[in-house]
Amino acid sequence: MHEITIHVYPTDCDMLGHVNHATMITFLEHARWAMLEPRMTVHDWFRSGVWPVVRHVDISYRAQATPGDDLTVRSGLAGTGNTSFSLRQDVRRAADERVVAEATIAFVCIDRGGQPVPMPAEWKTLFSAWRDEP
């Protein structure tokens, strides 16, 4: 499964001193791009004529992340449909492995006109598969 580490800086935090929802969503997006870029660049997406757009985000927060924390973000393909797919992600504080957040993001594939289209078969190989921990 794909993993990246993100360091939390004071500028990533709100006035209460913790990573807020908007920043966490950004961290999750950074992790998804880090998973994809070795296999497909943003320029490849533009040329393909098919784009994934976020349809639904389900996120649960389990613990705070604060300045100085290193967060490990795991990402993987959780499921596919005809025109859609979902990715699972979790965020853990590296120091103690505590789960900070868990998310499932559903995407729909659209064409240049914004209409749903089948997910290209080769996309299934772009994503690491999600594995639950033993």
Looking at residue 85, what is its pLDDT? 96
Phi and psi at residue 131, to the nearest 5°: -130, 125
Which letter does DSSP use for residue 38 in this model?
A: T
Active-site residue set: 14
Looking at residue 80, what is its pLDDT? 94
Given the structure tokens 């795991």, which residue do they identify? 74
d(CA 81, CA 98): 32
Domains and CATH numbers, the chain: 2-125 (3.10.129.10)
Scanning the chain, the segments in alpha helix (DSSP H) are 21-36, 42-48
3-state secondary structure of 29: helix
Q: Which residues lie across from 90 on neighbouring strands?
A: 74, 102
Looking at residue 134, what is its pLDDT? 46
Query: Across the 134 residues of the chain, what is the mean pLDDT of every consecutive 10-residue run?
Result: 95 94 96 90 84 95 97 96 96 97 97 94 84 70
Residue 74 corresponds to which amino acid?
R
Looking at residue 125, what is its pLDDT? 84
Looking at residue 25, what is its pLDDT? 97
pTM of the model: 0.91
Say how many C-beta atoms besides its own lie within 10 A of residue 111's C-beta: 12
Looking at residue 131, what is its pLDDT? 83
Looking at residue 118, what is its pLDDT? 96
* CA distances, 35 to each of 18, 29, 96 (Å): 25, 10, 24
